[in-house]
């Protein structure tokens, strides 16, 4: 059997195991170890062992539990409540003001935890009831919360970019800086869409009444405005020492987690129950990520040994005669299609090792390509039938938010994301300017 056919057989077997409901790390690791032993004999089992040792040496991976812990502390202690009240008071009189405030809330939450799950949890528990109470359109509510929560994997400190950095061997600091401007640009496009849509159809988002505005004193408004400084303090405490070179990436993540805990304790919300829930959840998520990455390293080693990456490159360039940009577009389209069936982590560990090498061979900047991949993951989060955020929204929303309605609600926000992706492909400087300026 040719090496190409072996690679196809490995890939199809892995996908078949996932379709039948096997755990992601089990499917990837099983195919990798069995293929290695069949191809190279008993010595092939060393590939699995070496991937474990390689994983243990990745110091940057220590940031993962810190950021996950930050996200769960934020969610369990409801630190975002005052922040959301501030947006309600200051943006309520505008067309779609509370929906705009929800997007801004998600931006600030993203700057503190780097997880889509945490943003979704905070949006569904804090923003959704307020939007429903003020008679916002349900399609608008669902789309805003899901689209806004996806910003967590693009705006630093993004956990997905940390994982991409391990696979692509790129500096996490540059990837974080590269993700900041595209993340803010996407949030800006969300805000513009919401404002224009609600201006054209005011019934979608009723404004705050004059009586309600008059009932809020200026003292209360200023107090709530001060509450909005908390995310800035946490983000600054974590990022400024890191960018200045005073702390390593791992140390910066610890500073961020500690600052979040101190902020929760000052507000009297950091209880033993919160600590236990956040710690258990962090342990579960971190272990899952490590098992998947370990299995993916083994799979990637076998794939590299077969020369599958070079075979794919030859197929696109030599056999099909495609240009570099045509290949890049095809890669992004394949990510979008896979995103309908796989989550972002599975796509990252299965396909990214192959595509990263291909992107490098085609002469593309791997920092810029990492941002393109992350935006594609955001789209995958919202793409039916198996978008991750779609099911999270259904699980957290009231019963009258049906799954078909949730599917329909994300369409305009997916279009905004695709538009942002196209803009970033045309103007790579949007992502690359900040890391080149600061590093």
Q: Residue 350: its pLDDT value, please?
A: 67
Q: Residue 426: its pLDDT value, please?
A: 93
CA 9, CA 189: separation in Å to the nearest integer?
Answer: 42
DSSP 29: H
For residue 324, name the pLDDT band (cuts at 50, 70, 90): confident
Task: Give mean pLDDT, residues 9-37.
Answer: 81
Q: Residue 273: its pLDDT value, please?
A: 92
CA 369, CA 431: separation in Å to the nearest integer?
Answer: 10
Q: What is the pLDDT of residues 47-103, one digit of tens each?
A: 777 877 877 777 767 777 887 788 778 778 877 677 777 777 777 777 788 888 888
For residue 308, name the pLDDT band (cuts at 50, 70, 90): low
Q: Residue 178: its pLDDT value, please?
A: 92
Q: Is the pLDDT of residue 11 over 90?
A: no
Q: Are 89 and 216 in contact (CB under 8 A)?
A: yes
Q: Is the pLDDT of residue 40 over 70?
A: yes
Looking at 213-217, 242-246, 319-323, 338-342, which range is the least confident one? 338-342
CA 421, CA 182: separation in Å to the nearest integer?
Answer: 9
Q: Residue 290: its pLDDT value, please?
A: 79
Question: For 111, how many CA atoms within 13 A lie in the half-sphere containing its CB?
Answer: 26
For residue 369, name the pLDDT band (cuts at 50, 70, 90): very high
For residue 307, name the pLDDT band (cuts at 50, 70, 90): low
Q: Return the percentage of the chain with pLDDT > 90, whole number.
A: 14
For residue 29, name the pLDDT band (cuts at 50, 70, 90): confident
Three-state DSSP state, 95: coil
Is the bond preceding 5 in cis, omega lying within 30 degrees of 0?
no
Q: Return the percentage of the chain with pLDDT > 70, whole number.
A: 89
Q: Is the pLDDT of residue 341 over 70?
A: no
For residue 354, name the pLDDT band (cuts at 50, 70, 90): confident
Q: How does DSSP assign 299-341, residue by residue?
A: HHHHHHHHTHHHHHHHIIIIIS---HHHHHHHHHHHHHHHHTT
Whole-model pTM: value is 0.77
CA 49, CA 358: separation in Å to the nearest integer?
Answer: 26
Q: Find which of 33-42, 97-106, 278-287, 427-436 is predicted with most confidence, using mean pLDDT.
A: 427-436
Mean pLDDT, the chain, whole residue set: 81
Q: Are 119 and 160 in contact (CB under 8 A)?
A: no
Task: Give mean pLDDT, residues 151-168.
Answer: 81
Q: Residue 355: its pLDDT value, please?
A: 81
Looking at 81-95, 211-225, 334-348, 414-428, which range is the least confident one? 334-348
């Amino acid at each position: 059997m040719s090496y190409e056919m072996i690679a196809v057989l490995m890939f199809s077997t892995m996908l078949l195991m996932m379709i039948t409901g096997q755990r992601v790390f089990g499917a990837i690791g099983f195919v990798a170890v069995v293929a290695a032993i069949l191809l190279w004999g008993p010595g092939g089992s060393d590939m699995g062992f070496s991937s474990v040792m390689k994983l243990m040496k990745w110091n940057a991976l220590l940031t993962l539990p810190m950021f996950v812990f930050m996200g769960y502390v934020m969610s369990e202690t409801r630190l975002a409540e005052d922040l959301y009240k501030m947006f309600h008071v200051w943006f309520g009189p505008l067309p779609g003001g509370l929906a705009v405030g929800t997007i801004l809330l998600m931006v600030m939450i993203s700057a503190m935890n780097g997880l889509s799950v945490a943003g979704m949890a905070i949006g569904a528990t804090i923003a959704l009831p307020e939007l429903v109470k003020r008679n916002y359109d349900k399609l608008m509510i669902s789309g805003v919360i899901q689209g806004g929560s996806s910003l967590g994997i693009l705006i630093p400190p993004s956990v997905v970019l940390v994982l991409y950095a391990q696979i692509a061997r790129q500096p996490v600091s540059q990837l974080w800086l590269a993700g900041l401007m595209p993340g803010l640009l996407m949030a800006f496009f969300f805000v513009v869409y919401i404002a224009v849509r609600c201006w054209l159809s005011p019934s979608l988002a009723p404004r705050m009444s004059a009586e309600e505005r008059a009932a809020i004193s200026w003292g209360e408004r200023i107090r709530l405005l001060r509450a909005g400084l908390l995310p800035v303090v946490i983000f600054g405490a974590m990022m400024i020492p890191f960018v200045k070179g005073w702390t390593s990436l791992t140390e910066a993540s610890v500073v961020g987690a500690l600052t979040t805990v101190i902020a929760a304790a000052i507000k009297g919300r950091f209880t033993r129950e919160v600590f236990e829930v956040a710690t258990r959840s962090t342990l579960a998520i971190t272990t899952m990520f490590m098992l998947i990455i370990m299995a993916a390293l083994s799979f990637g080693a076998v794939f590299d040994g077969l020369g599958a990456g070079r075979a794919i490159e030859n197929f696109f360039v030599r056999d099909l005669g495609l240009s570099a940009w045509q290949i890049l577009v095809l890669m992004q389209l394949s990510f979008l299609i896979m995103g309908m069936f796989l989550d972002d982590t599975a796509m990252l560990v299965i396909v990214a090792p192959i595509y990263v090498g291909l992107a490098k061979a085609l002469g593309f900047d791997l920092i810029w390509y990492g941002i393109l991949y992350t935006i594609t993951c955001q789209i995958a989060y919202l793409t039916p039938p198996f978008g991750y955020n779609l099911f999270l929204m259904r699980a957290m929303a009231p019963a009258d938010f049906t799954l078909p309605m949730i599917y329909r609600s994300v369409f305009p926000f997916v279009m905004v994301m695709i538009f942002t992706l196209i803009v970033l492909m045309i103007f790579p400087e949007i992502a690359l300017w900040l890391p080149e300026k600061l590093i």
